Chain A
Amino acid sequence: KAGVTQTPRYLIKTRGQQVTLSCSPISGHRSVSWYQQTPGQGLQFLFEYFSETQRNKGNFPGRFSGRQFSNSRSEMNVSTLELGDSALYLCASSLRDRADTQYFGPGTRLTVL
């Protein structure tokens, strides 16, 4: 069974731009969660989607948004990029919710210049 895939793996943007990251969960998994990982703050929860609905949201500004499609694939969008948005963005999928085992993708490394 294929694991969680994330595209692109690396991305370089400049301040003020926007970016869209994509995540394909493991087949049959319906819950997708997004995390931001930085050296200073560690791994922080962004939001979780289940059946195309945002079920939980972390403490991030409204510039961070996401959505989930009917095939459970998910995208996250960051608008008006700031230097501090440079991070590894991880996607994790689970069968139903985050109480189930989460399987992480390899992440998208975003660099904002």
Chain B
Amino acid sequence: TQLLEQSPQFLSIQEGENLTVYCNSSSVFSSLQWYRQEPGEGPVLLVTVVTGGEVKKLKRLTFQFGDARKDSSLHITAAQTGDTGLYLCAGEKGAQKLVFGQGTRLTINP
């Protein structure tokens, strides 16, 4: 059983469309991170959210941390082919333990 459940696991959409990826858990996290991983490379940190209800924007990407700090979402506006990749959420539970979701494989078609 995954501590962090990501949905959907796979998503394929056309360029220009909007999308939302979810990261859910029954556990409370002190912080939550989002990463993007491209083929042949390691994950790259996109953002860290710390406060319940926090919203962070990174150009066309909007990240939200749930009020109870158990879930998070990533919304991409006007997706571009360069957004293609594996998106991973990771939660920190204290004692410096970082757990990852299984990821959402996103494909943006031209």
B42–A92 CB distance below 8 A: yes
Q: Which of chain B's residues has its CB closest to A101's CB?
A: B45
Chain B residues within 8 Å of chain A by Cβ, number: 20
Chain A, residues 28-55, CB within 8 Å of chain B (1/0): the string is 0000010100000111110010000001
Is A87 positioned at the interface, with any CB of B under 8 Å from its CB?
Answer: no
Q: In which size bucket is the chain A interface?
A: 20 to 34
Q: Determine whether the beta carbon of B2 is less than 8 Å from that of A106.
A: no
Q: A48, B103: Cβ atoms under 8 Å?
A: no
Cβ–Cβ < 8 Å partners of A45 in chain B: 97-100
A107 touches B42 (CB 8 A): yes
B52 at the interface (CB under 8 A from A): no
How far in angstroms is the closest Cβ of chain B from A7?
A: 14
Closest to B48 in A: A101
Q: A4 contacts B2, CB within 8 Å?
A: no
Is residue B95 contacting chain A, with contact meaning CB distance below 8 A?
A: yes
CB distance from B45 to the nearest CB of A (A): 6
Residues on B with beta carbons closer than 8 Å to the beta carbon of A43: 43, 88, 90, 100, 103
Contact at B45–A102, with CB atoms within 8 Å? yes
Is A98 on the interface with B (CB-CB < 8 A)? yes
> Is A85 an interface residue, CB under 8 A from the partner?
no
Cβ of A90 within 8 Å of any chain B Cβ, yes or no, is yes
Binding site for B on A (CB under 8 A): 4, 33, 35, 41-45, 48, 55-56, 90, 92, 97-99, 101-107
